[in-house]
Amino acid sequence: MRAEIEAIANEIRQSLDLLRRHLDWDNALVRLDELNAQAEDPQLWNDAALAQTVMRERTNLESATTTVFAIERELQDSLELIELGEMEGDQTVVADAEATLRQLGERARKMELESLLSGEADGNDCYLEVHAGAGGTEAQDWAEMLLRMYTRWAEQHGYKVEWLEESAGEEAGLKSATVRIAGHNAYGWMKTESGVHRLVRISPFDSAARRHTSFTSVWVYPVIDETIDIQINESDCRIDTFRASGAGGQHVNKTDSAIRITHIPSGIVVSCQADRSQHRNRAMAWDMLRARLYESELQKREAAAQAEADAKTDIGWGHQIRSYVLQPYQMVKDLRTGVETSDTLGVLDGDLDPFMAASLAARIQGGVGNDAT
């Protein structure tokens, strides 16, 4: 068997060994048996919050262990097929098995990276806010392009996207928008996307066809659950009601019951117009505010960890993290990790995994990957 195939197989085995260590394999299997027993106990469902916690842990642990077993089995099958194909001179079988082996390598590396999402909120859903920078229609159009990019990425990964707030631009695009991305590890993957995104292109809104540079800010923060306690003094907040703005349609209901909450000490402002019920919009806005305050605390922890470790990565609000150049050449480059590609259309259509993986790995290597420090 060729050395290249052995090298790929060894990389997969190494990734699986690391996965087992991260999962604390023997204890993980014991814990899964315990969770299965708990799930079968009818008394569990008398406490809805506990049941939800148990089922979530069970689902995540079952998914991880099942994937490890599946990759092991497919690795062995592929190696046997390659050996058989080479013995019989069937290059089609060999080529198909090699392709499967490379796909297994990608799956194992992704699983290994996901196992490092050990922050207390990494497994949670997340909120994604997009805010157009200065530049009028250009920046607002760029904000809408970015929101579409993240929506496509989320859908490709089986995540659910829920629109919470949207403020349309005067001529095109968006002034701002907030969505909730729901799915396992949504925040863990998305948290590296906070920052300023820069676009360079020939403007479709400029009759002289000049090149324009636009900026849009992205802010990602976790949906917090009952395991994370955030206390807010309501006297520190101002609550306003307003009519929902924007285009409406499939995303936003036009209603007089939209809610905006301003947390005066921090200056944080959240708003929700997803529902026709003012009561539900108010509840969601309070959840969003708690999440924003929690994320603010995480950023303080990360800043302290970065200073201590002398890390170079800065994903703070207002910092430019990625450049998307459509003219005079095609290039998307992450300014933190150096990862780049000329497939600009693919990136804008949601192909963000290489950028997210590199940023996440850099954070972990820099000692700031675990939020629960």
Pairing status of strand 211-222 against strand 195-202 = antiparallel
What is the pLDDT, as a whole number, of residue 267?
87
> 3-state class of 213 per DSSP?
strand
- Name the more confident of 255 and 130: 130
Q: CA-to-CA distance for 100 and 77, rounded, in angstroms?
A: 10
What is the pLDDT, as a whole number, of residue 158?
93
Q: Which residues belong to CATH 1.20.58.410 in the chain?
A: 3-114
Q: Report how far apart, in Å, the C-alpha atoms of 129 and of each of 18, 309, 346 are.
A: 34, 29, 22
Q: CA-to-CA distance for 260 and 292, rounded, in angstroms?
A: 14
Question: Could you tell me which of 129, 251, 128 has the C-alpha nearest to residue 181?
Answer: 128
Q: CA-to-CA distance for 205 and 187, rounded, in angstroms?
A: 35
Q: Which residues belong to CATH 3.30.70.1660 in the chain?
A: 126-365
Q: Which of 57-66, 160-169, 217-226, 252-261 shows the lowest mean pLDDT across its residues?
A: 252-261
What is the pLDDT, as a whole number, of residue 244?
65
User: What value does the CA radius of gyration of the chain take, rounded to a whole number of Å?
Assistant: 23
Q: Which fold is adopted by the domain 3-114?
A: Methane Monooxygenase Hydroxylase; Chain G, domain 1 (1.20.58)
Across 243-328, the runs of DSSP E, i.e. the strands, are 258-263, 268-272, 320-325
> 3-state class of 2 per DSSP?
coil
Q: CA-to-CA distance for 217 and 336, rounded, in angstroms?
A: 16
- Summarize pLDDT for 168-193 with one digit per residue, the tens: 888 889 999 999 999 988 999 999 89
Q: CA-to-CA distance for 219 and 115, rounded, in angstroms?
A: 24
What is the pLDDT, as a whole number, of residue 364?
63
How does the average pLDDT of the chain come out, rounded? 83
In the predicted model, is pLDDT for residue 373 greater than 60? no
In the predicted model, is pLDDT for residue 65 greater than 60? yes
Pairing status of strand 331-334 against strand 268-272 = unpaired
Map tokens 């101002």 to a residue: 238
Q: Which residues are 320's β-sheet partners?
A: 196
What is the pLDDT, as a whole number, of residue 134?
78
Is residue 55 classed exposed, middle or buried when 0-12, 13-18 and 19+ CB atoms within 10 A define those classes?
middle
**pTM, rounded to two decimals:** 0.66
What is the architecture of the domain spanning 126-365? 2-Layer Sandwich (3.30)
In the predicted model, is pLDDT for residue 333 greater than 90? yes
Six-digit token pair at 174? 């968006």
In the predicted model, is pLDDT for residue 283 greater than 80? yes
In the predicted model, is pLDDT for residue 198 greater than 90? yes
Map tokens 């909450």 to a residue: 261
In the predicted model, is pLDDT for residue 316 greater than 60? no
Mean pLDDT score, 335-346: 95
> 3-state class of 96 per DSSP?
helix
- Summarize pLDDT for 229-270 with one digit per residue, the tens: 677 888 889 988 877 655 444 444 444 678 889 999 888 888
